């Protein structure tokens, strides 16, 4: 009796506890799968057969979810977390046998405790009695294997039913689950048709862009008569009701056309306002789609700062910004300031062939450009053109010039002095003015006088007078000359030209004596002019043929011919001198004396020395003779005038 009992009860009850825990976990999981799975399947089937309203689904779905969570905790998680100790098995056996003396659990405690010899002696009867009682216990009665089998069957039935239903009706199964998962969402029940749309959900388009809807319909069972989908849309709404087809005023029909790929397509061009739409086909419909409109960027405020070209001397001036017409002088610098709402990532300014990228500065966009050509300008952000307006170039008008004092057609004598007056005006200041003359018969014009002013911007108005001397060297008798005044400003534009005035120089043959006593003197002067012209003409011929004359050694022959004509001119000049002296015209006689005795004598001297000139010296000598002869001729003509 003093020997300790074999430590077999704890091992026996430990194995029993572990087996019992596994059975309880399997039983709970089977119960949970069977009950929750079948309940959920019943709800899915009911919703497929007779779609449940959203309020009922809102109650049923959370209730089932709570029940499933509670059952999972009590039937699976709690047994999983429970202890599988020998003591728990001992208590279970005692409850099953109806014992209340704690025999088995006390025996387990004795086996787990180190006892003294005296305590072993006292505990030995209890241990022997417990071992004897445990030998007759059956574990099967404790494990509830029958219940486990029934619930395993229920779980298998639930899983099999779910698998079979999902395989047979995948779309309907998924539809019902989605409707219970989101009971308040717009998920219509499936009818005979499955409808898919592109876009599948809410979308957004840029203001003014087109919206395209693509629809595909597919029959969910055989034998369904073909049907065409119909889209109902409602502008300004967030949703189109499921019963929109039955209710009048719920929206407008959107025409759908079928393409070669079997898709049904509808388009809404130039969307300006958001709308909602829903597609119907037979007893089926799609979720309501909402199309939002993203407003295009707009100009909230804008302004220009125009700086005219520097030559104008004008300060920078503010001007109305886009979309106003921009009208500036060529070469003006324009600064743009604009605020865009809603905010944009970039802004470009195109004008006159230029593309300027604006810079963002404290919520506003700024850019600057120099305008050289007209046309249009535009502001754009990416592909979106915000504004397009006219760009006009103001023309800087040429200066206005008026020429007076000559009349339109003036008849004058050679050597006469004419008083010419001009007045010039310009909006932004004058730069210079030139008085030019040209022979009406042709030839290049020459500038008689030029006036210049300091600038820019220069003077806005200028008035001046000039004495135009009709020098016979320039103004040939018998010719007509066009006199104009041309004024320029500081721009690159054309000059302003006055109305032309024509000055006709009297021909020598038309000049008559003012008195009968002057007739012999005038005739002698005309003779001197004619002979001097002939001598000058021979010198011109020699200049043209000088190389040939030198080569053929005929320079002396040419000299003799010129000298003969020059001598005749001198003789005629002397006769004219004497005639004017006789007529008591001392000034004219004095001038003729200086020409005959001075200038003509110099020409005769140079002609006498001409044959001695070398080939290198001859051209210069001939040119000197020609110039002097022409000058003498001009002076004679001036005396006649």
Report yes or no: 280 and 229 within 8 Å, Cβ to Cβ.
yes
Question: How high is the pLDDT of residue 357?
Answer: 92
Question: How high is the pLDDT of residue 517?
Answer: 57
End-to-end CA distance of the chain: 180
The total number of residues shown for the chain amounts to: 641
**Pairwise CA distance, residues 577 & 521, whole Å:** 8
Instruction: Identify which of 574, 579, 573 has the alpha carbon closest to the alpha carbon of residue 517.
Output: 579
CA 64 to chain centre: 59
Question: How high is the pLDDT of residue 6?
Answer: 47
Strand partners, 364: 361
Report yes or no: 291 and 276 within 8 Å, Cβ to Cβ.
yes
Strand partners, 333: 307, 370
pLDDT tens, residue by residue, 608-630: 888 878 778 888 888 888 888 88
Cis peptide leading into 323, omega within 30 of 0?
Answer: yes
DSSP-derived 3-state class of residue 567: helix
Question: Long-range contacts for 299-304 (Cβ within 8 Å, ≥24 apart)?
Answer: 299/323, 299/338, 299/339, 299/340, 299/379, 299/386, 299/387, 300/339, 300/340, 300/341, 301/338, 301/339, 302/336, 302/337, 302/338, 302/339, 303/336, 303/337, 303/338, 304/334, 304/335, 304/336, 304/337
DSSP-derived 3-state class of residue 515: coil
Question: How high is the pLDDT of residue 523?
Answer: 82
CB neighbours of 200 closer than 8 A, spacing ≥ 6? none
**Pairwise CA distance, residues 377 & 388, whole Å:** 6
Question: How high is the pLDDT of residue 133?
Answer: 63
Biggest alpha carbon–alpha carbon distance for the chain: 197
Share in percent of the chain as helix, strand, coil (round to 5) = 40, 30, 30
Report yes or no: 174 and 52 within 8 Å, Cβ to Cβ.
no
Residues of the chain with pLDDT under 70: 1-14, 16-17, 84-98, 100-116, 118-124, 126-142, 248-250, 509-518, 641
């Amino acid at each position: 009796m003093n020997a300790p009992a074999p430590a077999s009860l704890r091992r026996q009850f430990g194995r029993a506890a572990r087996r019992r825990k596994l059975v309880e976990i399997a039983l709970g999981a089977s119960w949970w799968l069977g009950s929750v799975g079948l309940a959920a399947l019943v709800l899915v089937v009911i919703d497929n057969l007779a779609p449940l309203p959203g309020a009922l689904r809102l109650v049923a779905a959370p209730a089932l979810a709570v029940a499933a969570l509670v059952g999972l905790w009590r039937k699976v998680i709690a047994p999983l977390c429970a202890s599988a100790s020998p003591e728990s098995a001992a208590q279970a056996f005692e409850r099953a046998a109806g014992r209340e003396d704690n025999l088995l659990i006390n025996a387990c405690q004795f086996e787990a405790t180190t006892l003294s010899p005296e305590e072993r002696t006292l505990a030995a009867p209890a241990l022997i009695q417990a071992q004897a009682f445990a030998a007759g216990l059956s574990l099967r009665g404790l494990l509830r294997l029958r219940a486990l089998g029934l619930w395993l069957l229920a779980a298998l039935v639930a899983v099999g039913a779910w698998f079979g239903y999902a395989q047979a009706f995948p779309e309907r199964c998924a539809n019902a689950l989605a409707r219970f998962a989101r009971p308040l969402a717009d998920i219509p029940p499936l009818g005979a048709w499955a409808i898919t749309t592109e876009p599948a959900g809410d979308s957004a388009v840029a203001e003014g862009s087109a919206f395209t809807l693509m629809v595909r319909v597919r029959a969910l069972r055989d034998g369904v008569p073909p049907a065409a989908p119909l889209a109902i849309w409602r502008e300004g709404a967030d949703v189109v009701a499921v019963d929109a087809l039955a209710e009048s005023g719920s929206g407008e029909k959107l025409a759908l056309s079928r393409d070669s790929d079997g898709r049904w397509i509808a388009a809404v061009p130039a969307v300006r306002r958001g709308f909602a739409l829903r597609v119907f086909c037979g007893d089926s419909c799609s979720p309501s789609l909402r199309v939002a409109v993203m407003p295009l960027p707009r100009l909230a405020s804008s302004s220009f700062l125009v700086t005219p070209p520097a030559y104008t001397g004008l300060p920078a001036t503010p001007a109305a910004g886009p979309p106003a017409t921009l009208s500036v002088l060529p070469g003006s610098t324009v600064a743009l300031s604009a605020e865009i709402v809603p905010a944009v990532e970039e802004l470009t300014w195109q004008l006159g062939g230029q593309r300027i990228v604006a810079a963002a500065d404290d919520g506003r966009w700024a850019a600057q450009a120099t305008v050289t050509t007209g046309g249009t300008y535009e502001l754009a952000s990416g592909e979106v053109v915000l504004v397009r307006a006219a760009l006009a170039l103001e023309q800087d008008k040429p200066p206005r010039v008026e020429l007076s004092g000559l009349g339109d057609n003036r008849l004058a004598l050679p050597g006469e002095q004419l008083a010419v007056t001009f007045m010039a005006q310009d909006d932004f200041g004058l730069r210079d003015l030139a008085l030019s003359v040209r022979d009406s018969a042709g030839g290049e014009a020459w500038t008689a006088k030029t006036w210049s002013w300091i600038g820019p911007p220069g003077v806005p108005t200028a008035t001046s007078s000039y004495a135009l001397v009709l020098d016979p060297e320039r103004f040939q008798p018998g010719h007509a000359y066009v006199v104009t005044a041309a004024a320029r400003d500081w721009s690159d534009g054309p000059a302003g030209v006055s109305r032309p005035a024509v000055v006709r120089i009297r021909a020598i043959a038309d000049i008559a004596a003012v008195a009968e006593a002057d007739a012999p003197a005038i005739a002698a002067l005309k003779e001197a002019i004619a002979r001097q012209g002939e001598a000058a003409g021979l010198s011109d011929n020699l200049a043209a043929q000088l190389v040939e004359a030198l080569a053929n050694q005929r320079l002396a022959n040419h000299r003799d011919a010129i000298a003969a004509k020059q001598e005749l001119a001198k003789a005629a000049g002397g006769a004219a001198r004497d005639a004017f002296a006789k007529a008591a015209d001392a000034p004219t006689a004095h001038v003729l004396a200086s020409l005959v005795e001075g200038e003509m004598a110099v020409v005769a001297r140079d002609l006498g020395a001409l044959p001695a000139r070398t080939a290198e010296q001859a051209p210069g000598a001939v040119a000197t003779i020609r110039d002097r002869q022409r000058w003498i001729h001009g002076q004679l003509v001036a005396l006649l005038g």
